[in-house]
Structures are given as structure tokens and as C-alpha cells.
Amino acid sequence: SFQLAMSPDEKTLAVAYRDVLKLSLVDMASNAVVKTIEVGKPPAGEFKGVMMKHPYWSPDGKFVYVADAVNKAIVKVDVVQGAVAKVLNIDGTNHYLHPSPDGKLLYAVNEKRGGGASLTLIDAATDAIVKDLAVPLAEGEKGLGHHGAFTRDGRHFLYCNEGGQTVSVLDTAKQAWAKTIRTGKGPGHAALSPDGSQFFVVHHNDGVVTVIDAARLEAVKNIRIGDGDKQAHAAWFTPDGKF
């Protein structure tokens, strides 16, 4: 097992795997696996890398989306039927799905696509791909999309490229890149403060947390948290928002 996601009603746990293309559903009342579903064609030979990434539940709890890195697709699984409902071919490796604030779109942060990275916008009602946006890369950067975050008003989406030193900002209305913010090395998670005023960007390959002003969309400070190249991951705010 590798990545987990709880259903909206907290009754079922979705389990994705590192080395097999299967999705298991665990009933939280009985602590028993109730279904295990094949989600894709296994590789013909050795597959280097993680086969699946984060599961994502539809808000109604009827479907789970998983990333199939082997076949370069996002797979939609019908939980009731215990079967694949749809395969969205993205010609790349998806890492995470973020629903838009209004619930109309899914923002697929892709690790790789061609020689770079991309953000795929998916219609949440029809699963149709609305737009695929290549992520702008600075000289020397590699494409390795990880996670992202919306501003409080939903007007902008911040895309973290773990393969470089930048966060790309998308204008959600225009569905176009608005600017690029330079940060530390390997930005992975942009955590919005409880008051919505700042993003704290956690890096995979640096000992700093970059603070971004959410209104101006500019980096205002790097906070040193360690020496050398550290690998940090997600972040958590205290309930009062002070730490």
C-alpha cells in the first residue's frame, strides 16, 4: 500500500499501491477489505517508479480517481460496481487532483508529460479534458509537478514544480499562466494560511520554507529551517493560525 484517501462519509478507505495497478476499498466499520479492483494493464516488463499515486474521491462518494503511471492515464473507478468506469488518457504521469472551489473542474497536477510537466483541466461532470497546459520551465529546470493550491477567492492556482525552483501561477478565469514565482529548490506543497493571506511553500530539496503574499502573488521571505538539502513534505497550521 502506498497512498490512502478517506471517502466523504468517512465509511470507506481507498488504498492505492506502489507496485501493482489495483485499488482496494476498506470498510472502516469492520476493518475489512471489501473490494480490490484491477485498474489498468500491468507493465510488460520491469517498471521503474511508482505505479500509482494519490486516490481522489468524487464529492458524492460514488467514484474514486487514481493515477496509472504505467499506462499514462487517470482511471475513474465506480465504487458500487467495483469496476473501471472511465480511462482518461493524459500521455503523462499524474500526481494529484485538486477540485476547483466551485467543484466544476478537476485540476490534475502532472509529474511528467513529454519533456516537461503539465496541468490538465478536467470537467468534473463529464470527465472531458477541457485544457492541457504545459508548465513554463526556467533554464535548467525539470518538470516534476507535485501539488498545488488555490487562492481564497479561487482566482489563481499555484502549481508546485518539484523539479525546479519555481511555482507557476494560473489565472483560473483565463485558464492561462499569469506569472512564475521563484522559490527554494523542489517546491512541493503550497499551504494557504487560515486567514488566506499567505502561502507557505514546503520544499523537497531545500532547507527553507518560502512565504508568498497571496494578494500580490510575490515571494516575501525564505525561512531557514535546516542546513543543506532536506526533504520535507506537507505542513499543518495550529487552529489559531499563529504557527
pLDDT per position in the chain (243 positions), as tens?
A: 999 999 999 999 999 999 999 999 999 999 999 999 999 999 999 998 999 999 999 999 999 999 999 999 999 999 999 999 999 999 889 999 999 999 999 999 999 776 688 999 999 999 999 999 999 998 888 999 999 999 999 999 999 999 999 999 999 999 999 999 999 999 999 999 999 999 999 999 999 999 999 999 999 999 998 887 767 788 999 999 999
Residue with cell 499551504: 191
pLDDT at 32: 98
pLDDT at 114: 66
pLDDT at 115: 65
pLDDT at 4: 97
pLDDT at 109: 96
pTM: 0.95
